Chains A and B, each alone.
Chain A
Amino acid sequence: GQSLEQPSEVTAVEGAIVQINCTYQTSGFYGLSWYQQHDGGAPTFLSYNALDGLEETGRFSSFLSRSDSYGYLLLQELQMKDSASYFCAVQHQAGTALIFGKGTTLSVSS
């Protein structure tokens, strides 16, 4: 089976940089994804890494090390609207649906 570990909570102030780590165990690896979810809303896609290295999308970056079964999401220039839950996820064994971590709640204060 698959399992993912990520911190349950992270706090930061506006303008700061925060890193959310994710370690995973999976029998077959098809990439690591990150999703954002605001309270009461649906998860939305942020980033995807299939290969080692850093992917940058605006203020958000995601990193993957397949040899360490580890990745992280880096959020820069934090804004209040970034307060949300962030989930890392790997493909299910059949490579078609996602297995999610339990999520990290990010609280950004002014």
Chain B
Amino acid sequence: NAGVTQTPKFQVLKTGQSMTLQCAQDMNHEYMSWYRQDPGMGLRLIHYSVGAGITDQGEVPNGYNVSRSTTEDFPLRLLSAAPSQTSVYFCASSGGSEDTQYFGPGTRLTVL
């Protein structure tokens, strides 16, 4: 099993550009989530999904969209990138609400 994979590993955007961060898992997990990590702020929940077709907002959802068309994939879309979205983004999956969260390696995004 590859576990949780994220692409790209690094990305530089200009203000106003849009892009999609990809996340995939091969563990047949129902639960997937996106976090951003900034220095001194820990990990903050952006959006999450409890299954295909079901998504909901976390702590800091503004400026981001998600969709869950399959169990395996949970892409995160930045609609119009802003410098405040410069961060490290982690995707995670779990088999249930009390299960261990498995994190991907992260995407390091810089918005100029």
Which A positions have Cβ atoms within 8 angstroms of B? 1, 8, 30-31, 33, 35, 41-45, 48, 50, 87, 91-92, 94-103
Contacts and interface: CB of A to CB of B under 8 A. Distances in A.
B56 A98 contact: no
Interface in B73-112: 90, 92, 97-98, 100-106
A101 B42 contact: yes
Interface string B15-48: 0000000000000000101010000111111001
B42 A42 contact: no
Interface SS of B by simple majority: strand
Residues of B in contact with A, size category: 20 to 34
A97 B48 contact: yes
A42 B104 contact: yes
Given A42-B105, A94-B56, A100 B97 contact: no
Contacts of B92: 97-98
A91 B92 CA distance: 14
Given A42-B104, A43-B90, A95-B97, A100 B44 contact: yes
Contact of B58 (A35, A48, A97): A97
A45 B100 contact: yes
Contacts of A94: 48, 50, 56
